[in-house]
Structure 1
């Protein structure tokens, strides 16, 4: 009889442990949803820049013109511009509305232009 009651007590403890664990897992889901909602609200209210740019090159003038010409031939759908902050010449791709769009394009450009990056605005 003692053996059966010990099994019952053990079974009840194990089942209650799993019940509490599943409740915690559901609470974690709601916390994740709250964080996602906070991030969405932040992204809608905080507008720091008009868009994002990708910088392909930063250096001397002759190399900058060569990089820009190569880019324009390889990716005619994108607009490149030359920005001069003497003594540096920068080749930049402009007008990405979101960071996600800029990151996707950056992955495409990095196959040919290894030093490409998204500068902090």
Structure 2
């Protein structure tokens, strides 16, 4: 009698385990991502914790730097430009390039209009 109950229990367990696999479903995941996430990832490159390369267009007085920055932004909209003050000059810095190669490729395009441009690695802020 115990043997019969044991066999019945084992068969029942086998049916339950294999039945679970018979009714398994294949799923498909679709990620609906906001387009702003891509922009945020680009802005994340601005974080000073990674090694970045920038391009310096030129330096001088505030008015010279402002006009240089405006001229750059009108010509090259794909890279961000910023004006930085380092005593006694204002400098115009461009981009946040993650590799030197990426910066050099951009420099080739930028030098056609801004001949004094150069690639550099800014000091990290501690």
Q: List gaps (5 residues or longer) in structure 2.
A: 1-49
Q: Note the 1:1-121 alignment, pairs <5 A.
A: 50-121=51-122
Structure number with larger C-alpha Rg: 2
Instruction: Please give the TM-score of this superposition, normalised by the length of structure 1.
Output: 0.57
Equivalent residue pairs, number: 74
How far apart are 1:118 and its partner, in Å? 1.1
C-alpha distance in 2, partners of 1:119/1:51?
Answer: 9
More helix by share: 1
Instruction: Please give the TM-score of this superposition, normalised by the length of structure 2.
Output: 0.55
Q: List gaps (5 residues or longer) in structure 1.
A: 1-48
C-alpha distance in 2, partners of 1:51/1:120?
Answer: 6
Following TM superposition, where does structure 1 have runs of at least 4 consecutive aligned residues deviating by more than 4 angstroms? none
Instruction: Report what 2:46 is aligned to.
Output: none
